[in-house]
Chains A and B, each alone.
Chain A
Amino acid sequence: MKAAVMAGLAGLLFALGLGMGGMTNPAKVVGFLDVAGAWDPSLAFVMAGALGTYGLLRKLIVRRARPVLAKDFPPAPSAVVDGRLVGGAALFGIGWGLSGYCPGPALVSAPVGGATVLLFVGAMLVGMGVFRAWEVLRAPRTSSQPG
């Protein structure tokens, strides 16, 4: 219960940061990606603020023996750079550039952004489901690793 409350609070803070930073405005995101046009660099500052804050706090947090409400910190990520990573990131980038929405801002906008955002979020969830089905079909006996 406590863990869910803290996760909810973390999600709320995350959403407020996205909105304040401009990430929930798709035209602004497309302007940030439009390096050949009237480039709007302001979203680079969202990334800088987030990286600086999380980078610093993360160093302090992982000094603890364990998280406050959980058994352990996540293991070090895989170091493998492969076709799946690059191909997946490329597909995601195309969808991001088309719509101006990445998953976080889309979910934040979903309750208030109207039919187009809801359609986008629905399609995004279907895309995640299609991936899951594709993975299960490809390797029926090994379960996929949790994200």
Chain B
Amino acid sequence: MNSFLLPLLGGVLLGAGASLLLLFNGRIAGISGITAGLLTPARADTAWRAAFVGGLAVGGVVLALVRPESFGPPVLSGMGATLAAGLLVGFGTRLGNGCTSGHGVCGLARGARRSLVATLTFMAAGALTVFVTRHVLGGVS
């Protein structure tokens, strides 16, 4: 299939999932916020959060069965770099109150200036990081 049609369709599907969560549960599909909410024990809204994250994991298993090329090998193989990246993503998304889904899709779609600033910032920081690791340092593992 055309190399842009598949990403576009993927985006439509992802947008449909986020819309479903809004229509039925009245919730914003911000993955980092939904996940972090599970770390606080005894919350009344644990069930739908766990179900959503469970749905993500089930989706991973389905993809691995029907479309294994969806997954590529990790770009980081070193333990230290992987740990650092995970910590940065976890801490950063909570400090900035959202990630690619919450700010980059849901927030932008509702016209939130905050989300526009966050999205431009994490895109720029990501691009700068790739520039430094790939073109200045010549690769980080």
Q: Which residues of A contact B (CB under 8 A)?
A: 1-28, 30, 33-37, 42-55, 57-58, 61-62, 64, 66-74, 77-81, 84-104, 106-114, 116-117, 119-132, 146-147
Contact = CB atoms under 8 A, between A and B. Distances in A.
A11 B93 contact: no
B89 A19 contact: no
B51 to A, nearest CB: 4
A64 B82 CA distance: 44
Contacts of A123: 82-87, 90
B86 A99 contact: yes
A17 B12 contact: yes
Binding site of A, secondary structure by majority: helix, strand, loop or mixed? Answer: helix
Which of B43, B71, B72, B86 has the most chain A CB atoms inside 10 A of its CB?
B86
Nearest to B60: A108
Interface residues of B, number: 117
B92 A94 contact: yes
A35 to B, nearest CB: 5
A79 B114 contact: yes
Contact of B131 (A35, A91, A108, A121): A35
A96 B79 contact: no
19 contacts: A10-B24, A17-B17, A19-B59, A20-B63, A21-B11, A45-B7, A48-B8, A49-B8, A53-B11, A58-B22, A77-B114, A80-B114, A87-B96, A98-B133, A103-B99, A107-B56, A123-B82, A127-B92, A147-B34
A93 B125 contact: yes
B42 interface: no
Among all A-B residue pairs, the 4 with the closest Cβ atoms: A15-B59, A127-B90, A49-B11, A11-B55
A11 B53 contact: yes
Contacts of B52: 7-8, 10-11
Contact of B129 (A22, A23, A98): A98
Contacts of B31: 14, 102-104, 107
